[in-house]
Structures are given as C-alpha cells and as structure tokens.
Chains A and B, each alone.
Chain A
C-alpha cells in the first residue's frame, strides 16, 4: 500500500516518519521540483507498505513551486505517487490551524488516519482537546494520539493503518471540491468556509485563555531576538560551532587522508604493475578519498544546524537576520548557508534547501561558494608567506594577518554584492514572503539529528560523489598521460639529467614526475593557456596548478610541489616556498612578485575551483544549468579581479 505522510511544518512530521520507518529510508525525486522525495518502508504484520514523506504545508494549495508537488499528486488520481491512504500529522496544541489541511485531505475521500501529535504539549499548554468531538466531526477518520518525542504511538499508528476505516462518503465541507491551482478566489472561499466551520466547533474540553506570551518560549524570545543580546548570542553560537569544526574535523580528515594514501601504496605493491593498477591506485582510490574527506565537515556542520533547527533557535536567527539580508535578494534563511560556507561550501549549498522561495534559494546557492572556505587556507598561507613581507602595520597589526583578513572580507563582500546583482537579473513571478512559524523551544531529539546527518552524508556520497570521482579520474588521466612519445622521452631525459647531477632516488623520482607532468595533457593545457593567464602575471606552471586544483583548491599546493621538483643544483630538500621564490622568468625576473602573488590570491578568492561543490549544486538544483553558470561567472570574476589586482600591484 502507498501511504502519503502529510502535515503542517513543525508538527513533528519528520519525527513520525523516522519513528515509523527507522533507517529504512531512501531519497528520490519528485518529477519537476527540487524537493526530495523521502520514502520509507513500513512493515505491519508482514505486510510491506511504502510511506512517502511530502513537504510540510499549511494547505493543499502550494505556497511555492516546490510545494506544488503536494497538490499535483493529491489532485490527480492517475499520478504515480497517488496514495492509497493518507496519514496526516496534526499538532494537538494548535488544532485549529492544523485542521485546515486535515479537512482538505479528509474531503479527498481517501482512507485517512489522523495522527494527533504533541499531545503532551497540548496538555501542558492547557489545551485539552476533545477526542470525541474530533471523531464526531470526522467520522470516517481513524484518529490516533501520539507523542513522537517520547516515541509513544508507533504501535497505535501501525494498528490504525491496518485497521483504517472505509470511507462512507462523509465530507467535512460537502460543497467544497478541490479548487484549481490558479483559482485564488476559489481557494480563498474554501479556506474561509473551512475555518469558520472549524471555529464553530469547540474542540477543546476546557475553555482557557492561551497565549504564547505567558510561556517559557516568550521569555527566551525576549533575549534571543533582542537588538543587542540577540546578535551577540548568535555570534557566540557561531564561534562555538566553528571552534568545534576546526578543532575536531581535522583529526578524522587527517586519518582519512593517510588511510587512503596508505591503501594506494599498499595496493600498488600487491598488484602487478600496469595501467589497471595505476588507474586503481592513482585514480580511483585517491578519488574516493577525495569524496570521503569531506564527510567530517559535512557531518559536524549538519549536526549543529540540526540542533539549532530542532531546538527552534534557527527561526529566531532567521527572524533577526531577515531584514538585513533582504535588500541583497537574500532571506533570513540564507544566513546559515553563507556562514557554513566559511568552513565548506558543500554543506552550505545543501543547507540552502530550507529556503522556500526559489529565487532566494538560487541566489543563496549561487553566491555561497564565494565565501572563503577552509580549503583556500593552504593556498592563502603559502602565497602570503611567499610574497607578503613579515612586519606590522601601524605598529601592532601583523601585515600577513591583515592580508588574510582582507581575502576573507573580499570573499564575503563579493558574495553579498553578487547576490544583489543576481536579485536584479533573475526574474520571477513568485513574490518572496516570510510567513514563518516560530516553533516553541524544545530539547533536540538526538535520533532525528542522527538521521539528518546520516541522510546528508549519504546524499553527498552517492549523488555528488559519482561526479567527483568521475572528474578526479579524468584529471588524473590528463596529468598521467600525454602525447605518447613526448612523455616517455621527457622521462628518459629527466632520468639522464638526474644521473648526471648525481641525485638520490627520491629526487630522481621527483624530477621525472615533474618532467612527465610538463609533457602530460594537463602540462600541454597549462602551456596552451599561458598567453591567456600572462596578463595576470602567471606562467604555465601556475597554469598547470590552476587546472589540477579544479579538483579541490588545496591541490594547488601539492601540484606546485610536483612541478617545482626541478632542481638544477643538486641540492637536497629545498622547501617548496624557497623553490617558488627562486623561480625566474626567461628574462630573469622572479615569477612570484607581490603583484603576481596577490593576483593569484585574488584569483582563488573568486574562482570556482571545486568540483565537489559543483557536483552538489547540480544535485540540489537538479540541473547542470546552475553549476555551469556558477563556474562561468565565478571564472570571469576571478580573471577580471586577478587582472586588475596585477595591474594595480605592479
């Protein structure tokens, strides 16, 4: 049997979904929209049912393009997803508003189960609902009380599903059939008719003055949305989160990094030498490693985002940030994606999903990778150490630190500016609006948080991971192969040179690797683009590193190390930075000057040098159009900004 799970947002719908299906969930697509279709398996008395989690809505009529899926499925009996049974979650502490959607679903004449959730909260708020009245009003509905927070009700919900009442033809609003999706007048009429009917029935047992003002929530709100404390507390919360990420994500990332390189070397010794082994040990294994390495950051960020969301704090952040972000074409909900991106743009892009307005979501996704992520740090630090002199400005500010700060500021300001420009460019018929419910504060449910984190990781690995792996194998092949004879010839020449210089084995290998890279397809590409990047102050070696670091920005450092393995004087183990410093152009001037170094840093602020982010943007927008636009506009920005920087600085 196909079961549709419906309900208002913040009713604990996803808790019910988790309660019923546990880990037996998978994520798919609804046709035509970017919302995910979450499906879970439900076994009741050896019978298997399919439970589909629909987006939380306040009514059958959509607020946004993505919510249309609810209307499209339920208004069309021939739809593939049309359910055999509707399971509607209703917040018992807020019956009136919740009964709008319930009554609409009830009148579709599907077998309907009402899950009366948050019964504990309703009692606490002195809102004792009257079950008898409810049942009398909806005689064909099977009603179960539940409290997903303490995991009560699973058995009862399962019983209700297997013993669901047959429909007798009873309707709540008999004269009201489903309105056309564009017929707003009809929708307004039915909404007001339904509400006046709902209001005319007294569902509560005891009449009591209930007001959100008197609850604990309102006391918290006084501080958390305060014009000083509100922002201060938000800043502290962010600091704590980033401390955790920088403190703890590095440990598993190092372990992943070294395990994968150990695995590669081990495989290389076990398998017979050849093209297949090379593909496995240098292409596939490091490629998978390049996907897995992101997991600690994604997991930690989503852990914190889920905690903020579960507790109800996130809506308060949206509330205090909305007005500030709006002139930029963003939304209060854009704050979390943008800030997450300071650690890594991948969870940032994935977190943008909560923005219901499509235009605001697209703008957020498009500008998020401009925030300087942690993968830029190795590039920035290398280049700063290379071209920015140590010393202080104004007697106390560290010059190198100041430049680093400037790069971060440049990224943030451009993200906001680009958002503003996109706001002017992107046309939309939907008018952005907020209308956000502020849920009461709750203790987080750790089970839900665990499932959220797991789901994000799974989506990243399976959906984005494929693209990342494919690109990294292509990049590897381009760096390893070249027009045949050239590469072999270069290797032989390099070896001869090494013998001539009397180098040890390790240095010989490096020299050979460097010579081969120069003659590989990537090396050739680097040389081909040299005229194009010359105005920015770069030579072909930097060009090669720009291409290889498309895999991930930090690859730039490793790539430079390979390419600068060239040693003319036979000296051993010169640090990369000194090799780069000593690098001269044909005319004898150094390659890395203040101007070219700054230009390169600025290039990395803007350039979309991260295939993993592109893969995730493709996953989240469900099309290649947006990642390609993103790659293009960020590339143009990077080029122009680096060019201007080079001209000004030289």
Chain B
C-alpha cells in the first residue's frame, strides 16, 4: 500500500516507490532517494517537522513538505533478499 513518507512513524523501514513531479524531485533523487531504495524514518524534530531519515547509513533531514512528495511502501523483511 502506497503512502506518503511524511505520514510514516519513526522507526519504520520503507521502500521508495515514486516521487511526485516537482521542482524538487531531481534534488531528492540526487540525495539518494531513488525508486526501490530502502530507507528508515529515524526521528522527528520536536514539532514533528522536519524529520530525519536513514539512507544507506547517512542521515538526511527534510521538511514535512518535502517528505510528502515521496511515496513509499512498507518494507517487509521477506522481500529484501535482493536489496
């Protein structure tokens, strides 16, 4: 089931499905947010925004607005063999 990254709870692993077309899409991709990438939501700032995610072992912080452009799927252990 697709949902937006901005709605994902801390500590959850997700797979990037797509990024909404926008000026920012290419910038998000350049940060490593490409289709199929497994990321984890780490924590959020006190007001719930911005949020910090783990991409390949580095931590990226992004605003809620930016995260809402990213559609993700829950990551399940068994589908991970190749990732």
Contact, CB under 8 Å: B30 / A438 = no
Chain A nearest Cβ from B69, distance in angstroms = 10
Expressed in whole angstroms, the Cα–Cα distance for A635 and B48 within the complex equals 39
List B contacts of A315 (CB < 8 A).
Answer: 61
Q: Are B49 and A211 in contact (CB under 8 A)?
A: no
Beta-carbon nearest neighbor of A188 in chain B: B26
Within 8 A of A (CB), among B59-74: 59-63, 65-66
Asked if A100 CB lies within 8 Å of chain B CBs, one says: yes
Would you list which residues of chain A between 217 and 232 have a CB under 8 Å from chain B? 217-218, 221-222, 225-227, 230-231
Contact of A322 among B40, B50, B58 (CB under 8 A): B50
State the Cβ distance, A441 to closest chain B Cβ, in Å.
11
Interface centre among B34, B55, B62 (most CB of A within 10 A): B34
A191 interface hit (Cβ, 8 Å):
yes
Answer whether A433 and B60 are a contact pair too, CB < 8 Å, given A213-B54, A225-B45. no
In the assembled complex, B28 has its CB within 8 A of some CB on chain A = yes
Q: Is the CB of A213 within 8 A of B42?
A: yes
A243 interfacial contact with B, CB 8 Å: no
Contact B40 A319 (CB under 8 A): no
Task: Given A188-B25, A210-B57, A437-B60, verify A58-B31 contact (CB < 8 Å).
Answer: yes
CB-nearest residue of chain A relative to B44?
A225
A435 near B: Cβ within 8 Å?
yes
Kindly list chain A residues whose C-beta atoms are within 8 Å of the C-beta of B54: 211-213
In the assembled complex, the Cα of A211 lies from the Cα of B11 at a distance in Å of: 12
A interface SS class: helix
- Within the complex, what minimum Cβ distance (angstroms) separates B18 from chain A? 11
The residue from B45, B57, B60 contacting A127, defined by CB atoms under 8 A apart: B57
A434 to B27, CA, bound (A): 11
B35 at interface, CB cutoff 8 A: yes
Q: Could you say which residues of chain A place their CB within 8 Å of the CB of B49?
A: 322-323
Nearest chain-B residue to A332 (Cβ)? Answer: B50
Cβ–Cβ contact A431 & B23, under 8 A: yes
* Residues B32-53 near A (CB distance < 8 A): 32, 34-35, 40, 42-43, 45-50, 52
Of chain A, the residue at the smallest CB distance from B66 is A433
Given the complex of chains A and B, what is the CA–CA distance between A571 and B23 in angstroms?
74
Question: How many angstroms between the C-alpha atoms of A225 and B60 in the bound complex?
Answer: 14
Taking CB atoms, residues of chain A closer than 8 Å to B29 are 188, 191-192, 195
Q: Which residue of A lies closest to B25 (CB)?
A: A188
| B24 interface residue (CB < 8 Å to A) | yes
Tell whether, in the assembled complex, residue B30 and residue A100 are in contact, meaning their CB atoms are under 8 Å apart: yes
Chain B residues with CB under 8 Å of A59's CB are 30
Contact with A324, one of B23, B26, B47, B58 (Cβ below 8 angstroms) = B47
Q: Indicate the member of B31, B48, B58, B63 with the most A CB atoms within 10 Å.
A: B58
A123 to chain B, nearest CB (A): 13
Residue of B nearest to A321 (CB): B45
Q: Assess A96 versus B26: contact at CB under 8 Å? Given A230-B46, A435-B60.
A: no
Shortest CB–CB separation between residue B30 and chain A, in angstroms? 4
Q: Mark A429-470, 1 if CB is under 8 A from B, else 0.
A: 001011111101000000000000000000000000000000
Q: Report if B56 contacts A (CB, 8 A).
A: yes
> A184 in the interface, Cβ–Cβ < 8 Å?
yes
Q: Assess whether B24 is in contact with A97, with CB atoms less than 8 Å apart.
A: no
Is A125 interfacial (CB-CB < 8 Å)?
Answer: yes
**In the assembled complex, how far is the CB of residue B55 from the closest CB belonging to chain A, in whole angstroms?**
7
Contacts of A326 in B (CB 8 A): 63
Shortest beta-carbon distance from A35 to chain B in Å: 18
Q: Does A196 contact B (CB under 8 A)?
A: yes
Residues on B with C-beta less than 8 A from A63 are 27
Q: Are A196 and B62 interface neighbours, CB within 8 A? A: no
CB distance from B49 to the nearest CB of A (A): 5
Within 8 Å CB of A97, what residues of B?
Answer: 31-32, 55-56, 58
A94 in contact with B59 (CB, 8 Å)? no
C-alpha gap A467/B79 in the complex (Å): 65
Q: What is the CB-to-nearest-CB distance from A95 to chain B, in angstroms, rounded to a whole number?
A: 9
Expressed in whole angstroms, the Cα–Cα distance for A322 and B61 within the complex equals 11
The answer to whether A96 and B62 have CB atoms under 8 Å apart is no
Q: What's the Cα separation between A213 and B62 when bound, in Å?
A: 17
In the complex, residue of chain B having the shortest beta-carbon distance to the beta carbon of A209 = B57
28 chain-A/chain-B pairs, Cβ below 8 angstroms: A58-B27, A58-B31, A59-B30, A61-B30, A93-B58, A94-B57, A94-B58, A97-B55, A184-B26, A195-B29, A196-B34, A210-B56, A211-B54, A221-B59, A225-B46, A319-B52, A320-B45, A433-B27, A433-B65, A433-B66, A435-B27, A435-B28, A435-B66, A436-B61, A437-B58, A437-B59, A438-B52, A438-B60
Beyond A184-B25, A435-B61, 7 extra complex contacts between A and B, CB < 8 Å: A58-B31, A97-B56, A187-B26, A191-B29, A320-B46, A433-B62, A434-B66
For the complex of A and B, 10 pairs with smallest distance between CB atoms: A227-B46, A438-B59, A210-B57, A323-B47, A212-B54, A97-B32, A59-B30, A58-B30, A191-B29, A195-B34
